[in-house]
Structure 1
Amino acid sequence: MSVADLNSWNDGPTKAAIVDFVGRVTADVPPEKRVAVFDNDGTLWCEKPAYIQLDFLVRRLAEQAAADPSLKDRQPYKAAAEGDLAWFGDAVTKHYNGDDSALEVLAAGILSAYAGLSVEEHAEHVKAFFAQAKHPTLGRPYTACGYAPMVELLRYLEANGFTNYIASGGGRDFMRPVTAQMYGIPPERVIGSSVGLDYVDGHLRTTAKPEFLDDGPVKPVRIWGRTGRRPIFAAGNSNGDIQMLEHTAAGPGPSLCILVLHDDGDREFNYVAGAETSLDEAKANGWTVVSMKNDWATVFSG
């Protein structure tokens, strides 16, 4: 793929930094070391007004509250039953600012939402959700809420010998059914948060026990555990991506770290909540900040 195929990126310092980096890497770094990692929520697809996975889980929590009225006065079931998506978004934002009080309550509900299903049954629930659910304000199918410039970047890196991975705080088994379709990334290259699994009579079944929250300092640990490589390219958008970006930048050879800034309220959303520290770190460490407003000619395909 040529530079011309990055046609969703406006010409400027950001695009030039990407092209320059890829040019240096293809000359000096062997393909097996060209590992790129991407956060998902807010980096590859839209994360506002609430995370896509939260919509999936909120629907399930609302179903549970409808079946058991005793749950309606307990969080997170209360917020789900009332359609209070702001409560869920606030819980995650508080987490990125160091307050896990609401996230712990949310996690307890999430962990039990689909417990007991086989991994194949869970995947079918995810596929059914993506087949009919739409973004509440953009009016687009969720599968059309991936960022066109980032998908082009994935293809550009791939064409230049990179192996791309997703390393997200989102659920591994929520992303896997759609990442090949949306990004061309197969399920074995999706690293994410997960619940424990049990082996029962030939099947793997989900449990209500947490396994990994793939966020913050856990991200580089999980990346190494899955790839055995230190990435040389990393893309994120929030405080939860700082350690992944730090780990990438600390390698001995060339590296590029980019941080997507949501500053386009006309075409997507304008916010920095949950990304304040990462933006400070980007400035201090020379990471490349991608302005959605200025650097992207288009946000979504079609």
Structure 2
Amino acid sequence: MSADQVFHSRSEGIPSEGVKDQYADGKAARAWNKFIGDSNQRTQNYKDFLIGLLRKHGCESVLDAACGTGIDSMMLVDEGFKLVSVDASDKMLKHALKARWEKRKNPKYDEWVIEEANWETLPRDVNSFMPGALFDAVICLGNSFAHLLDEHEDQRVQKMCLKNFAKCLKPGGLLFIDHRNYDAMIDSGATPGHSIYYNCKYPVDIKTSVLVVRGKPKLIALDYCIDVTEEGEASERSEFRLCYYPHKLAKFTAMLDEAFDHRGKHHIYADFKPQEEVSVPAFYIHVMEKARD
């Protein structure tokens, strides 16, 4: 049974191949852009964590493999990193392209590359506009990877995409990838109301639904309701649904190790802190270092 037979899990428009675009009608993309705000609204813990590790490992070139509206990419461009930003959603990329245009007088943005690409064909897609390019780091953050559902019920596509991330890295390069604490969400049926990534200024309500198929969690649907009313304006509320594959920590850890041929260095953080410091984190962040030989 597919998830769409039970949940209406995505917008009607989808790309001709590859990862389904849950932002295809543009509605969720517009609301999401307001939800995440701008690069100045990123939480300081997130900035310190990501930028600190990138600099510690001498990273310069970064592939943002789920750039969305470009917020993370802009944060890194501002810090002097060389960014290539890709996404499967052209509706999300429109916001990134607009942001780059608005920053056109800033020389840091002259070399910011923004292109459409798909995780399932990522090395080929990147090679089409940057032949032979490999990166010091690849980032896929903000629970982005969980958008990829398990249509075949064996995670074959998810495993392939993780291998593709590894292929885009230089030896010694870093992959930053995360997922919500789906173990806790499945147990409790609730989603933390705060975000470790965004300092959103708008009231946000998230309703959580867990789809169980043949005794196993198959999909989690989050219904977002964001009140984006500005002072003095008429009431404006945005409602949209996004669906995610509920990655359990142990299984996702094993898939990542396999994607790096069991030779990568694997570190797991809980809300940007050592795991033992957070009993029930909202997110797990995995940092994989590709083997150097």
**Normalized against structure 1, the TM-score is what?**
0.38
Higher relative contact order (CA 8 A, sep 6+): 1
Which one has a larger percent helix, Structure 1 or Structure 2?
A: 1
Which one has a larger percent strand, Structure 1 or Structure 2?
A: 2
Q: Which has the larger radius of gyration?
A: 1
